[in-house]
Protein backbone atom coordinates (compact mmCIF):
# COMPACT_ATOMS: atom_id res chain seq x y z
CA UNK A 1 0.00 0.00 0.00
CA UNK A 2 1.26 3.45 -0.92
CA UNK A 3 -0.48 6.37 0.73
CA UNK A 4 0.15 9.73 -0.89
CA UNK A 5 -0.94 12.97 0.65
CA UNK A 6 -0.52 15.76 -1.89
CA UNK A 7 -0.80 19.45 -1.08
CA UNK A 8 -3.55 18.82 1.43
CA UNK A 9 -5.09 21.89 3.03
CA UNK A 10 -7.94 21.94 5.48
CA UNK A 11 -9.60 25.17 6.52
CA UNK A 12 -12.16 25.20 9.33
CA UNK A 13 -14.00 28.45 10.00
CA UNK A 14 -11.22 30.50 8.46
CA UNK A 15 -8.43 28.76 10.36
CA UNK A 16 -5.95 26.73 8.33
CA UNK A 17 -5.43 23.53 10.29
CA UNK A 18 -3.56 21.69 7.55
CA UNK A 19 -1.38 23.75 5.26
CA UNK A 20 -0.15 22.26 1.96
CA UNK A 21 0.80 18.92 3.48
CA UNK A 22 2.58 16.49 1.17
CA UNK A 23 3.70 13.10 2.43
CA UNK A 24 4.27 9.66 0.98
CA UNK A 25 3.95 6.55 3.11
CA UNK A 26 4.42 2.86 2.37
CA UNK A 27 3.31 -0.41 3.89
CA UNK A 28 5.48 -2.08 6.49
CA UNK A 29 6.59 1.21 8.00
CA UNK A 30 5.67 3.23 11.03
CA UNK A 31 5.31 6.97 10.51
CA UNK A 32 5.41 9.05 13.64
CA UNK A 33 3.81 12.47 13.95
CA UNK A 34 5.22 14.74 16.57
CA UNK A 35 3.99 18.18 17.48
CA UNK A 36 2.23 20.39 19.98
CA UNK A 37 -1.46 20.26 20.79
CA UNK A 38 -3.52 21.68 17.97
CA UNK A 39 -0.70 21.48 15.45
CA UNK A 40 -2.73 19.36 13.02
CA UNK A 41 -1.69 15.76 13.75
CA UNK A 42 -5.18 14.52 14.55
CA UNK A 43 -6.71 16.48 11.69
CA UNK A 44 -4.40 14.79 9.19
CA UNK A 45 -5.28 11.42 10.65
CA UNK A 46 -8.98 12.19 10.40
CA UNK A 47 -8.50 13.27 6.81
CA UNK A 48 -6.72 10.03 5.97
CA UNK A 49 -9.50 8.04 7.64
CA UNK A 50 -12.16 9.94 5.67
CA UNK A 51 -13.78 11.42 8.76
CA UNK A 52 -13.33 14.93 7.38
CA UNK A 53 -13.21 16.27 3.84
CA UNK A 54 -10.11 18.20 2.88
CA UNK A 55 -10.42 21.69 1.43
CA UNK A 56 -7.66 21.35 -1.16
CA UNK A 57 -5.23 18.72 -2.42
CA UNK A 58 -5.74 15.00 -2.65
CA UNK A 59 -5.15 11.81 -0.77
CA UNK A 60 -4.53 8.66 -2.79
CA UNK A 61 -4.07 5.05 -1.81
CA UNK A 62 -2.43 2.89 -4.47
CA UNK A 63 -3.47 5.46 -7.05
CA UNK A 64 -7.14 5.59 -6.04
CA UNK A 65 -8.25 9.02 -4.93
CA UNK A 66 -10.19 9.60 -1.74
CA UNK A 67 -13.69 11.09 -2.15
CA UNK A 68 -13.55 10.15 -5.82
CA UNK A 69 -12.77 6.44 -5.99
CA UNK A 70 -13.43 5.64 -2.34
CA UNK A 71 -14.55 7.44 0.82
CA UNK A 72 -13.01 5.37 3.57
CA UNK A 73 -9.77 3.41 3.08
CA UNK A 74 -10.22 -0.31 2.78
CA UNK A 75 -8.66 -2.27 5.62
CA UNK A 76 -8.49 0.71 7.94
CA UNK A 77 -8.10 0.38 11.68
CA UNK A 78 -8.11 3.54 13.72
CA UNK A 79 -7.92 4.93 17.19
CA UNK A 80 -8.44 8.65 17.28
CA UNK A 81 -8.36 10.39 20.66
CA UNK A 82 -9.84 8.75 23.76
CA UNK A 83 -12.25 6.04 22.65
CA UNK A 84 -15.80 6.16 24.00
CA UNK A 85 -17.90 3.08 23.33
CA UNK A 86 -21.52 2.15 23.97
CA UNK A 87 -21.78 2.32 27.75
CA UNK A 88 -24.49 -0.33 28.16
CA UNK A 89 -22.50 -3.11 26.51
CA UNK A 90 -19.41 -5.08 27.47
CA UNK A 91 -16.17 -4.57 25.61
CA UNK A 92 -16.70 -7.78 23.67
CA UNK A 93 -20.26 -6.82 22.74
CA UNK A 94 -19.11 -3.42 21.51
CA UNK A 95 -16.55 -4.99 19.20
CA UNK A 96 -19.04 -7.67 18.15
CA UNK A 97 -21.55 -5.03 17.09
CA UNK A 98 -18.92 -3.18 15.06
CA UNK A 99 -17.65 -6.38 13.48
CA UNK A 100 -21.19 -7.14 12.25
CA UNK A 101 -20.90 -4.24 9.81
CA UNK A 102 -18.17 -5.78 7.66
CA UNK A 103 -18.66 -9.39 8.77
CA UNK A 104 -15.00 -10.15 8.09
CA UNK A 105 -14.16 -11.66 11.45
CA UNK A 106 -15.75 -14.00 13.95
CA UNK A 107 -16.17 -13.92 17.70
CA UNK A 108 -12.96 -15.85 18.20
CA UNK A 109 -10.96 -13.15 16.38
CA UNK A 110 -12.47 -10.51 18.66
CA UNK A 111 -11.53 -12.53 21.72
CA UNK A 112 -7.97 -12.82 20.45
CA UNK A 113 -7.79 -9.06 19.91
CA UNK A 114 -9.03 -8.41 23.43
CA UNK A 115 -6.49 -10.80 24.89
CA UNK A 116 -3.73 -9.13 22.85
CA UNK A 117 -4.45 -5.79 24.49
CA UNK A 118 -4.73 -7.33 27.96
CA UNK A 119 -8.51 -7.31 28.35
CA UNK A 120 -10.58 -10.25 29.49
CA UNK A 121 -13.05 -11.26 26.73
CA UNK A 122 -15.49 -12.73 29.26
CA UNK A 123 -15.54 -9.62 31.42
CA UNK A 124 -19.24 -8.96 32.12
CA UNK A 125 -18.75 -5.32 33.06
CA UNK A 126 -20.22 -2.71 30.79
CA UNK A 127 -17.77 -0.23 29.28
CA UNK A 128 -19.47 2.39 31.47
CA UNK A 129 -17.45 0.88 34.32
CA UNK A 130 -14.17 0.76 32.40
CA UNK A 131 -11.23 2.87 33.51
CA UNK A 132 -9.54 5.23 31.06
CA UNK A 133 -6.79 2.69 30.47
CA UNK A 134 -9.27 -0.10 29.80
CA UNK A 135 -11.17 2.05 27.32
CA UNK A 136 -7.89 2.83 25.60
CA UNK A 137 -7.07 -0.87 25.37
CA UNK A 138 -10.52 -1.56 23.97
CA UNK A 139 -9.98 1.18 21.40
CA UNK A 140 -6.73 -0.46 20.32
CA UNK A 141 -8.43 -3.86 20.14
CA UNK A 142 -11.09 -2.27 17.95
CA UNK A 143 -8.43 -0.84 15.65
CA UNK A 144 -6.54 -4.10 15.19
CA UNK A 145 -9.34 -6.67 15.28
CA UNK A 146 -9.95 -6.77 11.52
CA UNK A 147 -6.28 -7.14 10.58
CA UNK A 148 -5.88 -3.61 9.20
CA UNK A 149 -3.63 -2.75 6.29
CA UNK A 150 -3.66 0.88 7.36
CA UNK A 151 -3.48 1.52 11.09
CA UNK A 152 -3.99 5.06 12.37
CA UNK A 153 -3.23 5.50 16.05
CA UNK A 154 -3.59 8.84 17.77
CA UNK A 155 -2.05 8.88 21.23
CA UNK A 156 -2.35 5.11 21.75
CA UNK A 157 -0.46 5.26 25.07
CA UNK A 158 -2.90 7.66 26.72
CA UNK A 159 -4.01 6.43 30.13
CA UNK A 160 -2.02 3.21 29.93
CA UNK A 161 0.18 1.89 32.71
CA UNK A 162 3.76 0.76 32.03
CA UNK A 163 2.69 -2.81 31.19
CA UNK A 164 -0.03 -1.51 28.92
CA UNK A 165 2.42 0.70 27.07
CA UNK A 166 4.73 -2.25 26.52
CA UNK A 167 1.85 -4.38 25.24
CA UNK A 168 0.77 -1.69 22.80
CA UNK A 169 4.31 -1.15 21.56
CA UNK A 170 4.55 -4.88 20.99
CA UNK A 171 1.25 -4.88 19.08
CA UNK A 172 2.35 -1.97 16.90
CA UNK A 173 5.54 -3.77 15.98
CA UNK A 174 3.64 -6.98 15.29
CA UNK A 175 1.28 -5.14 12.96
CA UNK A 176 4.27 -3.63 11.21
CA UNK A 177 5.72 -7.11 10.75
CA UNK A 178 2.44 -8.17 9.18
CA UNK A 179 2.91 -5.42 6.61
CA UNK A 180 0.56 -2.74 7.85
CA UNK A 181 1.17 0.94 7.20
CA UNK A 182 1.07 2.59 10.59
CA UNK A 183 0.59 6.28 11.32
CA UNK A 184 1.27 7.07 14.94
CA UNK A 185 0.90 10.33 16.82
CA UNK A 186 2.38 10.60 20.26
CA UNK A 187 3.55 13.32 22.63
CA UNK A 188 6.33 11.18 24.03
CA UNK A 189 9.18 11.76 21.61
CA UNK A 190 11.33 9.00 23.04
CA UNK A 191 8.67 6.36 22.46
CA UNK A 192 7.99 7.74 19.02
CA UNK A 193 11.66 7.56 18.09
CA UNK A 194 11.89 3.99 19.33
CA UNK A 195 8.95 2.86 17.26
CA UNK A 196 8.92 4.97 14.11
CA UNK A 197 10.81 4.51 10.89
CA UNK A 198 10.20 8.12 10.00
CA UNK A 199 9.09 11.00 12.17
CA UNK A 200 7.33 14.08 10.87
CA UNK A 201 7.35 17.23 12.92
CA UNK A 202 4.09 19.10 12.75
CA UNK A 203 3.86 22.83 13.36
CA UNK A 204 0.75 24.91 12.75
CA UNK A 205 -0.59 22.56 10.12
CA UNK A 206 2.70 22.29 8.26
CA UNK A 207 4.65 19.07 7.97
CA UNK A 208 7.69 20.92 6.78
CA UNK A 209 10.51 19.13 8.57
CA UNK A 210 11.04 15.51 9.43
CA UNK A 211 13.67 13.46 11.14
CA UNK A 212 14.56 9.82 10.61
CA UNK A 213 13.80 7.68 13.62
CA UNK A 214 16.41 5.49 15.28
CA UNK A 215 15.36 2.61 13.07
Residues that bind another protein (CB under 8 A): 12, 46, 49-53, 71-73, 76, 78-86, 88, 94, 97-98, 100-103, 139, 142
Q: How far is the CB of 103 from another protein (least distance, A)?
A: 7
Q: How far is the CB of 16 from another protein (least distance, A)?
A: 14
CA distance 88 to 72: 28
CB closer to another protein, 62 vs 212: 62
Q: How far is the CB of 46 from another protein (least distance, A)?
A: 7
What is the full DSSP assignment across 123-185? ---BGGG--HHHHHHHHHHHHHTT--SEEEEESTTTT--HHHHHHHHHHHHHHHHTT-EEEEE
Q: How far is the CB of 78 from another protein (least distance, A)?
A: 6
In this structure, what is the dihedral angle of CA atoms 25, 26, 29, 34, given to the nearest 10 degrees? 10
Q: How far is the CB of 210 from another protein (least distance, A)?
A: 27
CB atoms within 10 A of CB 97: 12
CA distance 157 to 10: 27
CB closer to another protein, 48 vs 171: 48
CB closer to another protein, 168 vs 199: 168
CB closer to another protein, 90 vs 196: 90
CB closer to another protein, 83 vs 199: 83
- Cα separation of the two ends of the chain: 20
Rg (CA), the chain: 17
Amino acid sequence: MILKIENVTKIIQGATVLNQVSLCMESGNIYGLFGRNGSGKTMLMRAVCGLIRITEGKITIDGAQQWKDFSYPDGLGMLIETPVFLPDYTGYENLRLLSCIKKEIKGEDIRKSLIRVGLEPNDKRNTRKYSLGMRQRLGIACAIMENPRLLVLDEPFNGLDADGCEQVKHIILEEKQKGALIILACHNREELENLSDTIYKVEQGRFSTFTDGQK
